[in-house]
Amino acid sequence: MRTAVVTSTPSDSHTWGLVVLQCVLEEAGYAVRNLGACTPVARVLDECRAVRPDLLAVSTVNGHGRVEGAELITALRGDPDLAGLPAVIGGCSRPAAPTPARSGRN
């Protein structure tokens, strides 16, 4: 059976994207190890070394994913054991606050 590690980034405490991701991957036939929210990069790497997954899936929605996701992938690619592990990052990119529409003249 294929396995996937599902995780968030160190600062991201949102959990429901992780739950959805786990459900989708399980429906696709993966055995999933869900590391939960606010997961340190070192822990993700340790789990990947232990589980030897076919996929690492990262959910991040709190707005820091661009930085922390890059840090995670850089660490992953720098580890000889994990450098070739397929990894995906996703999550909402909704703006924190919509820009109010200008009223009146264009």
Residues near ligand B12, by CB under 6 A: 11-17, 20-21, 57, 59, 61-63, 88-92, 94, 96
Work out the end-to-end distance of the chain between its first and last CA atoms, rounded to an integer number of angstroms: 58
In the bound state with ligand B12, the residue whose beta carbon lies nearer, of 94 and 105, is 94
Query: Which residues lie below 8 Å from residue 74, measured CB to CB, with a gap of 6+?
Result: none
Please give the residue whose beta carbon sits closest to ligand B12 in the complex: 90
In the bound state with ligand B12, the residue whose beta carbon lies nearer, of 60 and 106, is 60
- Cα-Cα-Cα-Cα torsion 35, 36, 40, 45, nearest 10 degrees, comes to 20
In the bound state with ligand B12, the residue whose beta carbon lies nearer, of 13 and 105, is 13
